[in-house]
Amino acid sequence: MIPNPIHKVLSIFQSNGVRALLMGGQACVFYGGAEFSRDTDFAILADPENLERLKEAMHQLKAEVIAVPSLSLDCLQRGHAVHFRCRHPEADGLRVDVMAKMRGVDDFHLLWERRTTIEADDGTIYELMSLPDLVSAKKTQRDKDWPMIRRLIEADHAACTGQPSSAQIRFWLKESRTPALLIRLAGDHLHEAQALMSQRHLVIEAVLSGNESDVETALMAEEMNQRTADRIYWEPLRKELEQMRRQAS
């Protein structure tokens, strides 16, 4: 059951035709990686028409920008997030963050093609970032994101009660962060594991050795590399935000 404040945001987005995909903590709840989240994050299409639809939706939600930067195509297209606080009676106090560009994540048009669509009992349509794209978006420098990736893959694997498709097997082998699961998958699907060697060399090599400790070490190295890449990506954007804050004050 979707909490009423988030349901209100999604229904207003839908009624205004806002092209947006739910991501972040709320999307993780849908995919079984979390039981609860206060995060309400969206990937949005950054073009003039969609920006006007978003502005109207935020007006109906009585939402105000609560930090720099302000809402503009330039800021969104550069990769900044815009942060709102809703004051609509049915979503009072809810924070909504929107982004159009993220490190390691495809263009919105591709995200939209791969989206997951869920219909609520009242007919409201929830458009979610696909699970593989959500996992890509979670590869950040934040401590909380890496355990979430692990839970998302474990939940997706556990939810598969029949014969998994080749795409599912490749996805689990490519993204799982659970040593025992990776070793079991490689044992059952050796061909698929070997095919991913070029994409995930250190991890797959450790997995094929069958040693959980070696896999854990390789996973940690992989995570550290991603965290470093994320810090490098955000450094110029952080400097821009600092300049915006100085100008605003």
Structural domain span for residue 81? 4-135
Higher pLDDT, 101 or 120: 101
What's the rounded Cα separation, in Å, for the pair 14 and 229? 35
Torsion sign (Cα): 115, 49, 11, 89? positive
**pLDDT at position 3 over 70:** no
153 lies in the same domain as 220: yes
Q: Tokens at residue 225, please?
A: 């590399």
Task: Tell me the C-alpha to C-alpha distance, in Å, between residue 72 and each of 39, 100, 204, 231.
Answer: 22, 11, 43, 24
17 lies in the same domain as 49: yes
Residue 179: inside a domain: yes
The average confidence (pLDDT) of the chain is 95
Cβ atoms 134, 28 nearer than 8 A: yes
Q: Tokens at residue 71, please?
A: 């809402």
In DSSP terms, which residues pair with 98 in a beta bridge? 42, 82
Q: What's the confidence (pLDDT) of residue 150?
A: 98
Q: Which CATH number characterizes residue 15's domain?
A: 3.30.460.40
For the chain, give the percent of residues with pLDDT over 90.
90
Cβ atoms 75, 82 nearer than 8 A: yes
Q: Tokens at residue 81, please?
A: 């997030």
71 lies in the same domain as 130: yes
Of 33-37, 46-50, 145-149, the one with minimum mean pLDDT is: 33-37
At 81-99, the pLDDT tens digits run 999 999 999 999 999 999 9
189 lies in the same domain as 131: no
Q: What's the confidence (pLDDT) of residue 209?
A: 94
Q: Give the residue-averaged pLDDT of 146-151.
A: 97
Q: What's the confidence (pLDDT) of residue 219?
A: 98
64 lies in the same domain as 114: yes
87 lies in the same domain as 170: no
At 111-130, the pLDDT tens digits run 999 999 999 888 888 999 99
Residue 186: inside a domain: yes
At 218-241, the pLDDT tens digits run 999 999 999 999 999 999 999 999
62 lies in the same domain as 175: no
Q: What's the confidence (pLDDT) of residue 37?
A: 80
Residue 165: inside a domain: yes
Closest residue by Cα to residue 199 from 164, 225, 173: 173
Residue 106 DSSP code: -
Q: What's the confidence (pLDDT) of residue 170?
A: 97
Output 131-134 pairs: Cβ under 8 A, ≥24 positions apart: 131/31, 131/156, 131/171, 132/171, 132/175, 133/23, 133/105, 133/106, 134/23, 134/27, 134/28, 134/31
